[in-house]
Structure 1
């Protein structure tokens, strides 16, 4: 598809919509050409940083009327190139739309602009009795980006992913109109849920400007149990039994000794547990001490059948617990620092098939001579799998990593899994989409895309090929 290249006349017209010159950037720097992985780069022709709905409306309508591609951008913590202007055009950088618009404790909601960071939300709610429950590890990610990928996070097993915490969205479509999708009401049996269509669409259907989120009362009691096992396989195999026993953890994370050693080197810190090669981190929260104590007792009874060693029980706010969570949250950065280049997939499978995926990863490491560290969410079957270039040449790495990705997608599909559990498809995996989900399904998505964005100016070349 041929797009219109931005001219000086376009810049003059577009600049009228932006009240401050420093938010209209005609000479973008490398700050805007990559996401966290930097494996794909694409420089926008123009960067616009809106601060209100009217500015977004005017810019999106002008882009649509003049056939200019436009890509909404958050804080660039993505891993799949979803925020990159691969067709050129406008990068609509949302980070200055970062205000809290309404705090409604009686209605248990809070409304914010889409560019606000998770870190800012946490700080705003620090002295209040409520919290925004989803807990993606990237605290500097924007909420709009999380909504656009339906980010999961560490508490999805008990509280659900981002989708379950969004009441209402305001979205600008290509016709230049601002729509309200959803409402503050808890329930709806009122036709198509366009709100849920926008969530996870990676900015390909509209530009999210405002988000009304659900607030939860902060848990009265929270503890963490760190359980060592002789092997990572032993740890993973215990998870279905824990959940089937009636325990409802906040969190069940897995990691092995190999990735912990990478974190120790990265952080110059010592992991506080020296025994075991596989670990589960189990979080429990409750209203009373008796509740979490009963769930913990049940958990520790169940895991004895899976060779579990003595668990360490920590208050959630203890220094030891904070170090363990620091390790978990910095694993991606630790792996990234250990290798010149890195790629990633985050397939999601039924929890009882995590051991099958780990077995296939080990086979591929041996067959293809590539290092594939991994960790993830044992409670919901979402694995974070990293492909490290190490001493491979660029051509070797490109060929071998493509083979690994293809094989692991086949593995996920064979167990009725998904290509991505929370990081999205973006540009990096768009070529794999139709093979995984089939032409009929992908054609239906193409029809939806065409209805919302007939000129394909919104984040083109993402998720699937047109």
Structure 2
């Protein structure tokens, strides 16, 4: 696919759509050339920060008509390079479209602009009886970015991922029109769901500008049980039994002593539980104390026969509970701080197959003499696996990383899993997509892409190559 370079004439024409010079940045700084990992850098030629749907419509249509690549951007918390302007062109930075447009508790919905951060959305709802339930660890991520990657988070076991909490979106397509996909209504058996096609498309089909989210009554009671086990494998193997007990936890997370040691070094704090090398964190919520206590006792009875140590049970507002969740949410930053370079694989497998992946990781660590720390969502089979460069040369790290990624994708496919459970494919993993899912499947996705974006200008070269390998 051939693209046109931005010319002085293009700059002048695009500037006519954006009245504020501060939102029209012709000399971008390194703030716009990377994502959270900073492994690959790509500088845009122009940054535009829209504040209205109309501005987005004008810019997108102009870019498509003139075959100028354009990449929607949130708050740059992604890990797979989906926000990178690999082909140059325009970075459409959405962070100033950050307003609450409507709070409608009677319909259990709330409408916001796509650039609002999760933490600001949560802050708006803090004194209200309703909440937005998805809980990705990156609270400074934007809701538009969460929609584009179908972000998961800590509460997916009970409440599902982002997709289950989006009622309606407004999207600008390359014809410059603003489309409404979905509705405030709860149910639909009314044709193709284009809303669900956009969700998880990583900004490759259109630009999401508004999001109507589902609100849920805030549970009145919540507790956490941190359950230690002698080994991480024992901890993981308890999860199917917990879920088969009939209790649906809010959260089931796993982490091992190795990553907690990294967190202690990073945070200069001590993890409050010294027993065990593997941990399951089970979160429960309910509207009555009796219900939550009954569920807790059921889980504790299940794990008692599986080698568990004594569980530490804490109210969600307990300071020790907050410290434990702080540790869980900062594990990524702790691992990143421990090594010069880092990459990640976030495969998702059936929950009973997590030990297979952990065993293969241990083998790869020994085979390659490479540190591969990990943790993740035990309740839905989504592992976060990190590839640390440490003292390897750039060449060795690149070669070993490719080996690890290839081997983990190979195993994941054998286990009937998916390449990514949360973080997307982006730019970093696009070259593995054809092999993992097959040429016929990927060619069908290419047809969808060409229908929405005939000139291939919206976030090109992401998820899969626009043109297949021969």
TM-score tier, shorter chain, comes to over 0.9
1:447 corresponds in structure 2 to 447
Task: State the TM-score, normalizing by the size of structure 1.
Answer: 1.00
Residue ranges of structure 2 left out of the alignment (5+ in a row) = none
2:325 corresponds in structure 1 to 325
> Matches of 2:3 and 2:198 in 1, distance apart?
24
> Matches of 1:294 and 1:348 in 2, distance apart?
30
2:191 is equivalent to residue 191 of structure 1: yes
Aligned-residue CA RMSD in angstroms? Answer: 0.4
Note the alpha carbon deviations across 1:207-248, whole angstroms, 9 max, x for none. 000000000011010000000000000000000000001010
Q: State the 1:175 CA deviation.
A: 0.4
**SS of 1:106's equivalent?**
helix
**SS of 2:82's equivalent?**
coil
Note the alpha carbon deviations across 1:323-356, whole angstroms, 9 max, x for none. 0000000000000000000000100000000000
1:148 corresponds in structure 2 to 148
Q: State the 1:7 CA deviation.
A: 1.0
2:437 corresponds in structure 1 to 437
Q: Which runs of 4+ in 1 moved over 2 A?
A: none
2:265 is equivalent to residue 265 of structure 1: yes
- Matched residue count: 466
Q: State the 1:440 CA deviation.
A: 0.4
2:71 corresponds in structure 1 to 71
Note the alpha carbon deviations across 1:359-414, whole angstroms, 9 max, x for none. 00000001111000000000000000000000100000000000000000011100
1:464 corresponds in structure 2 to 464
> Matches of 2:4 and 2:16 in 1, distance apart?
19
> Matches of 2:129 and 2:33 in 1, distance apart?
40
Q: State the 1:305 CA deviation.
A: 1.7
1:274 corresponds in structure 2 to 274
**SS of 1:347's equivalent?**
coil
> Matches of 1:214 and 1:94 in 2, distance apart?
22
Task: State the TM-score, normalizing by the size of structure 2.
Answer: 0.99
> Matches of 1:451 and 1:375 in 2, distance apart?
39
Note the alpha carbon deviations across 1:2-33, whole angstroms, 9 max, x for none. 21111111111000101211000000000000
> Matches of 1:423 and 1:345 in 2, distance apart?
9
1:180 corresponds in structure 2 to 180
Note the alpha carbon deviations across 1:38-60, whole angstroms, 9 max, x for none. 00100000000000100000000
2:388 corresponds in structure 1 to 388
**SS of 2:305's equivalent?**
helix
**SS of 2:107's equivalent?**
coil
> Matches of 1:328 and 1:310 in 2, distance apart?
20
Q: State the 1:304 CA deviation.
A: 1.2
1:40 corresponds in structure 2 to 40
Spell out the pairing of 1:97-116 with structure 2 (5 A cutoff): 97-116=97-116
1:82 corresponds in structure 2 to 82
2:206 corresponds in structure 1 to 206
